[in-house]
Amino acid sequence: MAFGQPRIEYKSNSEILKMREAGLVLAEALDEAVAKAQPGVTTAAIDKVFAKVLERHGATSNFLGYHGFPATICASVNHEVVHGFPSEYELKDGDVLKIDGGAIVNGWHSDSARTVLVGKNIDPADQRLSDITEQAMWAGIAAAANARFIGQIGEAIDDFVTSQPGDELGILEDYCGHGIGSAMHMAPDVLNYNSGHRGPRIKPGMALAIEPMLVRGGIETSVLEDDWTVVTNDKSNASQWEHTVAFHMGGIWVLSAHDGGEAGLAPFGVTPSPIRP
């Protein structure tokens, strides 16, 4: 603790490279989990696919056993926002599934999430919800590339979401991104909205999980009796997208994206900078 604030962990380039290894394993595990997410498939089966990829690479899950969490992914369906348990629930055509997972390689963590629109009968409003959430994530990451303070990430996400034409989407305020590195959840918090606070200064060696969560209705949520699953009170559908991002002297690098964030950042005029071993 310093001046009453949690200490922020700053990584060396070699440590960021280790986090990149975890990020690439995680990206592959999410690829296979997303491909498995089809009508009739249980969310428990998707969890098993994800776990097998980690096992194949000698990685471990940072979700399994975390404060008693029982699985390697969070599988949240429709109005479930985050932290849903994989179960024998069979996905249906048109479901909105959020898959949130993590990986540890040699003690270094990565965390990433994707929204999957299941099947072919997709509600255009759900497609819009997922698209805007994903683009808002990239808007936040792009802003971070040139930002001085953590609070500017939330400002950029908020500005992007509220500037979209059409029905207003809600930005959840009770759940946010976080620092990551030698542990999954670390300082600082990364808010997804404009709080009016600038937060800590962004410095080389930081690594952040940036993860906006948007809803089609109100932002009020509750936690189910399992003490984990977060749901919208008005039963409106939700979307979550997340990447692990590192900052170094050469720039910004999206550790949990196969291409380091090149495609996602290009529309914002930002080019990621990989660290070379």
Q: What tens-digit pLDDT sequence spans the chain (277 residues)?
A: 344 568 999 999 999 999 999 999 999 999 999 999 999 999 999 999 999 999 999 999 999 999 999 999 999 999 999 999 999 999 999 999 999 999 999 999 999 999 999 999 999 999 999 999 999 999 999 999 999 999 999 999 999 999 999 999 999 999 999 999 999 999 999 999 999 999 999 999 999 999 999 999 999 999 999 999 999 999 999 999 999 999 999 999 999 999 999 999 999 999 999 999 8
Check: CB of residue 124 under 8 Å from CB of residue 216.
no
pLDDT at 66: 96
The label of the residue with tokens 């559908």 reads 237
Distance CA 240, CA 75 (A): 11
What pLDDT shows up at residue 277?
Answer: 84
**Domain 13-268 belongs in CATH node 2.60.40.2580:** no
Distance, in Å, from the CA atom of 239 to the CA atom of 225, rounded to the nearest integer, reads 22
Identify the H or E element spanning 265: helix 262-265
Alpha-carbon span 151 to 176, nearest angstrom = 12
pTM for the predicted model, two decimal places: 0.97
Token pair of 17 as six digits: 């490279």
What SS3 class is residue 125? Answer: helix
List the beta bridge partners of residue 209: 178, 244
- List residues forming the annotated binding site for a divalent metal cation: 100, 111, 178, 211, 242
Binding site, residues? 83, 100, 111, 178, 185, 211, 242
Q: Which two tokens mark 70?
A: 């029982």
Q: According to the model, what pLDDT value does residue 4 have? A: 53
Q: Which residue ranges make up each domain of the chain?
A: 13-268
Residues comprising the binding site for substrate?
83, 185
